[in-house]
Amino acid sequence: MENSALTLIRSVLAASVITTSLTFSFTAPSLAQAHTTVRFSAGNDNTFMRSSITGNHYHDYVLNARAGQRMSVSLITKGSAYFNILPPGSTQAIYNSSISGNDGSVRLPQSGNYTVRVYLKGGNKDRNRTIPFELSVGIL
């Protein structure tokens, strides 16, 4: 009896290890995402950045702004790169350039850290291509 109990425990442990191994091997890898804090030079209300984006990755540009200010963003790219403007603490875009175009301006509803997220869509994203871009951000 003692032998069959040990055999059962070993079988359960082996099944558990196999299940855990399979779960980890099929888990999608987390993507490394870029994050840049945006600061304006003294006396300037805008800034310009160059970078690139690849496949499923995205690049977040975070800047602090006050309620009632206007944020203007322009994205120049030769591929399918777009941006969203995300308000503080939210993943719900208040501006989506894939719908409204790569030049946009919005009045900010609250004070805090806003995120301009640059990302790819379509074939460039699906084929894991790298697309260079230029981003201009201004706060008035």
Tokens of 98: 């894939």
> Tens digit of pLDDT for each residue in 12-29?
444 443 333 333 333 333
List the one residue out of 98, 75, 96 whose CA is nearest residue 87. Answer: 96
Taking the model in full, what pTM does it have?
0.76
> Tens digit of pLDDT for each residue in 62-84?
999 999 999 999 999 987 899 99
Pairing of strands 95-96, 81-86: antiparallel
Whether residue 126 has pLDDT greater than 70: yes
User: Sign of the CA dihedral 29, 49, 118, 138?
Assistant: positive
* 76 and 133 Cβ atoms separated by less than 8 Å: yes
Lowest mean pLDDT among 34-43, 59-68, 96-105: 34-43
What band does 107 get if pLDDT is binned at 50, 70 and 90?
A: very high
Tokens of 83: 């941006």
